[in-house]
Amino acid sequence: MRGVAFTAVLLLAACGRAADKPAPAQPPAPTPPPMVWSGDAHAMELWQDGVQLLKIECDRKTGLTLHGAQFKPVGSEERMSVGAGDVVVTLVATPDGAAVKGEGAADPDFLLALSQGRKVAVNYGYQNMGPYDGPPRALAEPFVAACTPR
The DSSP string of 20-42 is HSPPPPPPPPPPPPPEEEEE-SS
Q: Is the pLDDT of residue 28 over 50?
A: yes
Q: How sure is the predictor about 74, in pLDDT bands with cuts at 50, 70 and 90?
A: confident
Over range 45-55, report the average pLDDT: 91
Does any domain span residue 42? yes
For the chain, how many structural domains are there in total?
1
For residue 35, what pLDDT is reported?
82
- What percent of the chain stands above pLDDT 70? 82
For residue 20, what pLDDT is reported?
58
User: Domain containing 134: what range?
Assistant: 35-147
For residue 95, what pLDDT is reported?
85
Does any domain span residue 107? yes
Does any domain span residue 121? yes
pTM of the model: 0.73
Q: Is the pLDDT of residue 63 over 50?
A: yes
Over range 10-18, report the average pLDDT: 49
Based on its alpha-carbon atoms, the radius of gyration of the chain, rounded to whole angstroms, reads 27
Does any domain span residue 22? no
For residue 7, what pLDDT is reported?
47
Q: Is the pLDDT of residue 39 over 70?
A: yes
Q: Is the pLDDT of residue 40 over 80?
A: yes
Q: Is the pLDDT of residue 134 over 60?
A: yes
Q: Is 50 helix (H, G, I), strand (E, B) or coil?
A: coil
Strands (E), the chain: 35-39, 43-48, 51-59, 63-68, 79-84, 87-96, 99-104, 120-124, 127-132
